[in-house]
Copies of this chain bind each other. A is one copy, B any other.
Amino acid sequence: MRIDRIDGGVTAPQGFRAAGLHCGIKATGKPDLALVVSDLAASAAGLFALNLAKAAPVLVSQDHLSRSGGQARVVITNSGCANACTGPQGMADAREMAALAAEAAGCAVDQALVASTGVIGVNLKMEAIRTGVPRAVAALSVTGGADAARAIMTTDPFPKDAAVQVTTDVGAFRVGGMAKGSGMIEPRMATMLGYLTTDAAVDPATLHRALSDACRYTFNAITVDGEPSTNDCVFALANGASGVVIDEALYPALFEGLRQVARELALGIVRGGEGATKLIAITASGAATEPDAWTAARAIANSLLVKTAVHGADPNWGRLVAAAGRSGAAFALDQARVRIGSLVLFEGGRPFDERAPQAARYLQGTDLEIEVDLGTGGAHRATVWTCDLSAEYVKINAEYRT
């Protein structure tokens, strides 16, 4: 098996077309409507927000996936309005969006998935979507993935797409994807909006398993602000156009293809986090259990004091220890160790502050690695990606609506 990164996003695999354009939801005139269509029947899988205040499109997509038995031909997405907390009207609007998309793709309505992102608590401008869908259908193309990736953005500073070609003994298939992120990001078993396409042939159950496995170490291992959203979802569509059929022997190839694309998208979300200037990989090692490793890594990755210290390039290992110590994970201070880049700053109960100036220089970079060994002697570890917390994050979120 060989995996090569290739150009493109959701339309890199064969048999997928996409489009993105401005239909009239965003006042700025920026793109706000995206269509992704599979020209062939496709297996589909989704992971959704665990937030109990689920948005209408999340509920509709879950329902459709369940009713279709994991089949989908089209995903319709609008940005600029989350269609969350919008009551019965919101549900009716999400259903109408799905119906418009199904009609455009020529498929049953339960083979249409729908997603929305933007402000919570505002009803969709359905007239914009009604006039926008036919225009999007006319614009569908096998190079439209880039337009679609732009049309799902909210406060994202750049579009996020990625694709790979997976070459196996029995042939090659491709995996493509796009995502949007920025704020309200701490996906738990789901994420903001992520879309993965593949031209491998995969049955729905296997696709769901591979999507879950791939997301565990990618979309589900990132945080911007510790805020799981109302609209999180990741979709995967597999249409078999490559002729490569995924069986148990090829499962690792599918998993790895999905994982690599999902990882690039997920790290893109963190890099493009609201106000972010640095991507930080936080590893908790020496954990007594795997849940403990995740718990500690998440606590450190969401610590405001850690995120502000890194923003200021301050190698303040005490804040790392304090966050690990309060995380709820088993922790042994005397055996704990803190590493910033390649520099150990605390070990065996003793600080190495003479290394602080060198660590401060390292922290001025934009791609950072920090490891906290919890000191329990356990072999479990987990990595969570986060970003620094800047005054710009406050500015963006204090001014988002007003």
Closest B residue to A316 by CB, please name it. Answer: B401
A29 within 8 A of B: no
A318 within 8 A of B: yes
A245 within 8 A of B: no
| Docked CA distance A316–B353 (Å) | 44
Residues of chain A in range 329-357 having any CB-CB distance to chain B below 8 Å = 330-331, 333-334, 336, 346, 348-351, 353
Whether B51 contacts A397 by the Cβ 8 Å rule is: no
Minimum distance in angstroms from A328 CB to a CB of chain B: 9
Minimum distance in angstroms from A27 CB to a CB of chain B: 16
Whether A326 contacts B228 by the Cβ 8 Å rule is: yes
Chain B residues with CB under 8 Å of A402's CB are: 312-314, 360
Chain B residues with CB under 8 Å of A336's CB are: 53
Interface size class of A (residues with CB under 8 A): 35 or more
Chain B residues with CB under 8 Å of A351's CB are: 85-86, 121-122
Chain B residues with CB under 8 Å of A50's CB are: 326
Whether B53 contacts A303 by the Cβ 8 Å rule is: no
Minimum distance in angstroms from A310 CB to a CB of chain B: 9
Whether B349 contacts A88 by the Cβ 8 Å rule is: yes
Minimum distance in angstroms from A67 CB to a CB of chain B: 22
Q: A86-B349, A227-B303 are in contact. List 7 more A-B contacts (CB 8 A).
A: A85-B346, A120-B322, A227-B322, A230-B318, A309-B398, A312-B402, A390-B394
